[in-house]
Amino acid sequence: MPDRRPLIAANWKMHKTRAEAGEFLDDFLPKAGGLAGVDIAICPPFTALATVSEGCEGSEVLVAAQNVHAEDSGAFTGEVSPPMLVEIGAWGAIVGHSERRHVFGETDDDLARKVPATLGAGLVPILCVGETEAERDAGRTEEVVRRQLEADLASVPPDALGGIVIAYEPVWAIGTGRTATVEQAGEAIAFTRSVVGEIDAGAAQAVRILYGGSVKPANASELLMVEGIDGALVGGASLDPGEFLAICEAVDRGPT
Ligand code: PEP
């Protein structure tokens, strides 16, 4: 059995000032220190990255951005580059979140550049894929997830694929309170792993695949014990330190 360490990542979206981020850490970090069997990452807005990065120093909690540009520098007003994230102490970056794709028009072509650029800078990309409700209703879930994965990973060297994180996030379950059933999540994640396996069999065993979409303390244990699900990308419930801690505890394997 592959030994993939669980990962729970907090996507704070456009929430929390620096002061609020500091208050979260004051509450969360002392309690999270006891969780030895789960990786935890916090993805704050750009403005709070330094606060969270500095606040997490000396803890095991990782820091990631919610977006990143593919170029190192240039005339790209409003964007932030991979080396800038590295300098601030980031471990990774979410790429291709459905809000980036559907609200800001990010395309698979953009992501095909962002994923290797992120990896090339030494950051872990958390690549989000997933179908809309209309696509699921039309029976197109696998077609959509395959298209996204094949396009977004096209320029990643196969021996680097195992080092990325993929988040399967059905768009209809994000921020809606609707959660995929364990069967839906398990099937889509097994399919996601099989597509990675078509590119590289070893990478399919190594790559961590998260579920995202209205994960809460009440449903975390059930979802996260599904075979092949290596953790969660959590939006709304990650804003509260107690709720986020409860989700991390649901997958903590304890000391090894
Ligand atoms: C997300 O933003 O990636 C997400 C899964 O949000 P929520 O948990 O609020 O559905």
Burial 215-224 (b: 16+ CB within 10 A, else e): bbbebbeebb
- Tell me the CATH number at 174: 3.20.20.70
- The reported pLDDT for the residue numbered 129 is 98
pLDDT of residue 2: 65
Question: Is 89 within the bounds of a domain?
Answer: yes
Dist. CA 234 → ligand 1 center (Å): 5
Residue 144 lies in a domain: yes
- Residue 30 domain-assigned (yes or no): no
Write out the chain's pLDDT in tens, 256 residues.
468 999 999 999 999 999 999 999 999 999 999 899 999 999 999 999 999 999 999 999 999 999 999 999 999 999 999 999 999 999 999 999 999 999 999 999 999 999 999 999 999 999 999 999 999 999 999 999 999 999 999 999 999 999 999 999 999 999 898 999 999 999 999 999 999 999 999 999 999 999 999 999 999 999 999 999 999 999 999 999 999 999 999 998 777 6
Q: Is residue 249 part of a domain?
A: no
189 close to 229: Cβ distance less than 8 angstroms:
yes
Q: For residue 227, indicate whether it is catalytic.
A: no
pLDDT at 84: 98
Q: How far is the CA of 66 from the centre of ligand 1 (A)?
A: 12
Residue with tokens 């060297």: 157
Which of 69, 97, 99, 106 is flagged as catalytic? 97
Q: State the pLDDT at residue 191.
A: 98
Is 245 contained in some domain?
no
Is 44 domain-assigned?
Answer: no
- Residue 232 pairs in a beta bridge with 8, 211
How crowded is residue 146: how many other Cβ atoms within 10 Å of its Cβ? 17
Whether residue 92 lies inside any domain: the answer is yes
Decide: 51 and 44 in contact? Cβ < 8 Å. yes
- Quote the domain boundaries for residue 109: 60-215+227-236
DSSP state of 137: H
* Pocket around ligand 1 at a 6 A CB cut-off: 11, 13, 169, 174-175, 212-215, 233-237
Task: Tell me the pTM.
Answer: 0.97
Number of domains, the chain: 1
pLDDT at 256: 63
Residues 74 and 84: their CA atoms lie apart, in Å, by: 12
Is 34 within the bounds of a domain?
A: no
CA 166 vs. chain centroid, Å, equals: 7
* 150 has catalytic annotation: no
- pLDDT for residue 1: 46
Distance 75 CA to ligand 1 centre (A): 31
Alpha carbon distance 77, 65 (integer Å): 17
- Give the nearest ligand 1 atom to 216 CA: 8
**The pLDDT of residue 85:** 98
